[in-house]
Amino acid sequence: MTTIFDKVFKKSKKDFEIPEKWNEYATGFYEYLYVEKNYSEHTILNYLGDLFFFYSFCMAESIEILNIDQYVLRSYFAKLNMEEKIEKRTQSRKLSSLRTFYNYLFRHEIIPENPVLSVKFPKVKKRIPKNFSPLEMTEILENTALETEDKNPIIKARNRAILEVFYSTGMRVSEIITCKWENLSSDKSQMKILGKGNKERYVYFGKEAISALEEYSNVYNSEREGFIFRNFKGEGLTTRGVRYILEKYRREIGMEKTITPHKFRHSFATDLLDSGADIRYVQELLGHTSLSTTQIYLTVSKEKLKEVYRKAHPHAKLKQDE
């Protein structure tokens, strides 16, 4: 029997036969995440992957998927920790996946209550986002004019535009690959995009990004409709394709620090806050639903303030010299 896991992951994900009823639950869960929750493809894949591993555990232990309790869950996470030593952050995500799955079953009256609600999430220390320093960002963006392996003027202009747009807008990689010519304003200063959870918002381009987009537009010899950033076959770029472009560029300019889409996003937010931007405007520009998500960038700004204070204040310098 072909299961939802086989269809979604494009290959077999099992060494055992999943009961037909269990596959129905998983298929319904997939549709729930995709249609009702509007989750991104990346999130859905993570949730289904987590559910698959829980299915595997229940099959191995002869546990009925609808009759679990907190003891089954604790046993499951204890086994995961013993075999993989997973971090608390990963534990929290896996628990969230199961909580959402059983909430789906509860809402559709398949079970009388959500058994995962009785299990507490592990305390996770918030990670301080990694961003580029102003000097590193200058090094990245100024080196786009250098001679690289890409002789094709369209590819070279495209890559420069991708780098400039990343920093100018703070877009997620999943958002930048879906940018379309028809959503770009005529002066190339702003664009309407479809963000996380299928929520629309506007992003704005600075002069360097506008210049890069104009250069790309001038050498782009196809119709200006559909996806802006395409591969050499004319197909829209994938997230993997963008990461490959960034890694290739990093090697070409001889930079040791990794260049990732999210570091551009972190740098965009941190630099705005360091320059005095209101956090609520930054929240809107990033497309965050919750302000608490944006507030993590304040930690980075506070660290910079501490550094400035320690270097500049006489008493702070006195303490360091002692």
**Domain edges within the chain:** 4-118, 134-311
How confident is the model over 237-267, as pLDDT tens digits? 999 899 999 999 988 888 888 999 999 999 9
Q: Do residues 193 and 203 lie in contact, with contact meaning Cβ atoms separated by under 8 Å?
A: yes
The CA-based angle 142-143-147, given to 5 degrees, is 140
CATH of domain 4-118: 1.10.150.130
How confident is the model over 92-148, as pLDDT tens digits? 889 999 999 999 999 999 999 999 998 887 665 666 667 888 888 988 998 876 655
Q: Is 257 a catalytic residue?
A: no
CATH of domain 134-311: 1.10.443.10
Name the residue with higher pLDDT: 72 or 80.
72
Q: Do residues 36 and 82 lie in contact, with contact meaning Cβ atoms separated by under 8 Å?
A: no
Say whether pLDDT at 149 is over 70: no
Name the residue with higher pLDDT: 71 or 118.
71
Q: Is 47 a catalytic residue?
A: no
Q: Is 39 a catalytic residue?
A: no
* Identified catalytic residue from 13, 94, 172, 266: 172
Q: Is 102 a catalytic residue?
A: no
* Residue reference for tokens 């520009």: 285
Question: Do the domains 134-311 and 4-118 match in fold?
Answer: no
Region label for 241, one of left (φ > 0), alpha (ψ between -120 and 50) or beta (otherwise): alpha
* Residue reference for tokens 């963000």: 195
* Identified catalytic residue from 47, 76, 249, 297: 297
User: CB within 8 A of 119, min separation 6: which ones?
Assistant: 70, 73, 74, 95
Q: Is 172 a catalytic residue?
A: yes
Say whether pLDDT at 231 is over 50: yes
Q: Is 265 a catalytic residue?
A: yes
User: Bridge partners of 190?
Assistant: 204
Confidence of residue 222 (pLDDT cuts 50, 70, 90): low
Confidence of residue 321 (pLDDT cuts 50, 70, 90): very low
Written in H, E and C, the secondary structure of the chain is: CCCHHHHHHCCCCCCCCCCHHHHHHHHHHHHHHHHHCCCCHHHHHHHHHHHHHHHHHHHHCCCCCCCCCHHHHHHHHHHHHHHHCCCHHHHHHHHHHHHHHHHHHHHCCCCCCCHHHHCCCCCCCCCCCCCCCHHHHHHHHHHHHCCCCCCCHHHHHHHHHHHHHHHHHCCCHHHHCCCEHHHECCCCCEEEEECHHHCEEEEECCHHHHHHHHHHHHHCCCCCCCECCECCCCCECCHHHHHHHHHHHHHHHCCCCCCCHHHHHHHHHHHHHHCCCCHHHHHHHHCCCCHHHHHHHHHHHHHHHHHHHHHHCHHHHHHHHC
- Model pLDDT, residue 202: 94
* Identified catalytic residue from 93, 156, 160, 265: 265
Radius of gyration of the chain (CA): 24
* Identified catalytic residue from 196, 230, 263, 266: 196
